[in-house]
Amino acid sequence: MISWRTFLGLAGACAALLACSNDPYPARDAQQKILYSSFSSAPRTLDPAVAYSVVDHMVTGNVYDTLLEYHFLKRPYQLIPGLAMEVPEAEILEDGRARYRFSLREEILFQEDPCFTHFHPGTKTRRVTAHDMVFSLQRIADPKVNSPISSTLIRILGFAEFGKRLQQMRDESEAFAALPVHGQYEEAGGIEGVRASGDLDLEIVLDSAYPQLLYWFAMPFTTPLPWEAVVYYDGNEGRNAFEEHPVGTGPFILSTYDKYARIVFDRNPNWYGALHPEWQAPGATYPSEGEAGDGEAGLLDPEYVGRPLPLIDRIEFRMEKEDIPSFAKFLQGYYDASGVIQESFNMVVQEDNLSDEMVELGVDLVKSVSPDIYYLGFNMDDPVVGHKAGERGRKLRQAMSLMVDTEGYTERFANKRGIPAQSLLPPGLFGFDESYRNPYRQVDLAHAKRLMEEAGYPGGIDPNTGRAIRLTFDTPDPSAQGRARYQFFVDSWRKLGVDVEIAATNYNQFQEKVGNGAYQLFMWGWVADYPDPENFLFLLHGPNGRTASGGPNTANFNHARYSELFLQMKDMPNSPERALLIDEMLKILEVERPWIELFHRENYALYHHWLANVKPVGLSFSTLKYRDLDAPLRARWREDHNHPIRWPLFLVVLLFAAMMVRGVQTYLEERQ
């Protein structure tokens, strides 16, 4: 017989279950401005000098501020002041060197942290100075840190020499190597071209003008760092390693970091935008202007223009390894925004607009084009398709380019989410011409066949063998889905009589083949590091050839005039003169066809109607400080649209009731 104590316990548990809902968040948070989102893989590192992935920047972009930022709304992308008072211009010195002067804002504070108390008893934070910027740049030059952008900043005077000197002194002296890292940097003499003039003025001197340098000061790599945090968080005596414990100047503080489950940010009360809203600093104030269409999209609502940031109190990311559960929680209102997963695309988007079901749920859709390019490439070192084939190879490449239907490809494999590329420059970058149509990127079988005849391959037949010309298409994805994608191109070229064989390997093997030059055709992509045409046009600069130098020019394209123009263009500010150089470079690529440009990715972002100020940026920097949400509206929507299925619990109640009746009967019988 069940005891009364056991029964009462079970009945109480049942009552508690009946009172609960399927909401995964605490009830006390329902009315709070907390933005909920998800992530699918753990950050690799939170050390800003090293962190490079999108998921890394999901964290570092919120807790670390930078000297410069990007305007939230304007396209083409525009730099604005962040921690710096203004965006500097290069001063060209008499010896041809270039100097950039940054002036930091006064009264910028690091977030409160025990590292400051450890080294400065009685304090929880301290002021940010230009010396923190010097320390940060020295860390990037430090070979022990192994920053991925060290090769980019090598144009700073003495940058490479500092790294070599530092390593040599460590190798020669154990006492030197045992010094705290900021002490080592001081003993090593610093970087010649990085100087702090007082507490607020920073001077950077390069061997020559390099306008793209400023973009790197809008990335977390170059955020000011406190030496106290780097030294204190060494992973010893129960302390975290610095790569797991950021100490920054950003609008949010990392308050919970379980990188395999939950990542939470709270407002940083020491952020300069919170301490000094009266400054109306560009990086701490909602903008008053944007690009065409922003007003109609509600992104310039007078309710927000001029308001101090951030607009939300907390950000919470939860790990979701699978797309479908994450999307289901978005539909329930438990995540505020989402992408469109492949499995549900036709349910969500119909005729390029939201389906009626999504509209009824109050979901909005915003589209954006990523600053990237996906392409098919030829190995220009190959004797059949490359430079050595001369005019014959050029016409072959042109003919093959005329056969690739990008719209057909994106419709079949990407739900039409891709803008057909006419050149390697994506929308939003200087030099992009929306009206330009590449004559070799329009499907034209008749023209392609004529070019094959002119190349000496009538009907695709190689006169040297009497058989169809045979090429190899190397790919890094041996899966069935990957093979289907590549087969799309193979089938297109077969209409010309060209026999293309897919050689699928894993990613590492593919990279090895590309490095050795053992390939003819391949498919690849590039996502902008920063929004400047140089960051795309350098991909075909001759000295950057992959096989010869290990550079990013995977096609091994080497054209004397193109490279000459590139060297003229790369360090110029945006101007009509620069636009003319870019136009000539694109005309060369149009004819030479080292690439068959495919598409620029088009992103579809879904968000609930209680979320405001959503504008994807494409680049890897956070805009969450601009977002706002109506928490009471969200709470009401969740309650209206999520009704727990309670009938199994009622069944349990009935069973308990039956057990109670039987228990009472047994009890009475025993008493008698």
Domain residue extents for the chain: 4-20+644-671, 41-284, 372-603
Low-confidence residues of the chain: pLDDT under 50: 1-19, 647-653, 656, 672
**Distance, CA of 537 to CA of 583 (rounded, Å):** 11
Quote the pLDDT of residue 245. Answer: 97
pLDDT digits (tens, 9 = 90+) for 359-373: 999 999 998 899 999
Quote the pLDDT of residue 57. Answer: 93
- The burial of 537, by beta-carbon neighbours within 10 Å (0-12 exposed, 13-18 middle, 19 or more buried), is given as buried
Give the Å distances, CA to CA, from 449 to 491, 537, 593, 611.
15, 30, 17, 53
Reduce the DSSP state of residue 497 to 3 states and report it.
Answer: coil
Long-range contact pairs involving 590-593 (C-beta distance under 8 Å, separation at least 24)? 590/423, 590/438, 590/439, 590/440, 591/394, 591/398, 591/440, 592/394, 592/397, 592/557, 592/559, 592/562, 593/378, 593/394, 593/397, 593/398, 593/400, 593/401, 593/440
570 with 208: CB under 8 angstroms? no
pLDDT digits (tens, 9 = 90+) for 505-548: 888 888 888 888 889 999 999 999 899 999 999 999 999 999 88
Nearest C-alpha neighbor of 488 from the set 416, 377, 410: 410
CATH superfamily of domain region 41-284: Periplasmic binding protein-like II (3.40.190.10)
Class of domain 372-603: alpha beta
Reduce the DSSP state of residue 45 to 3 states and report it.
Answer: coil
383 with 435: CB under 8 angstroms? no
**Start-to-end CA span in the chain (Å):** 17
Quote the pLDDT of residue 464. Answer: 87
Length of the chain: 672
**Token code pair at residue 647:** 């009938």
Quote the pLDDT of residue 646. Answer: 52
622 with 57: CB under 8 angstroms? yes
**Distance, CA of 143 to CA of 125 (rounded, Å):** 29
Q: Which residues contact 671 (CB under 8 A, 6 or more apart)?
A: none
Long-range contact pairs involving 274-280 (C-beta distance under 8 Å, separation at least 24)? 274/308, 275/107, 275/109, 276/107, 277/308, 279/105, 280/306
**Token code pair at residue 19:** 């009172």
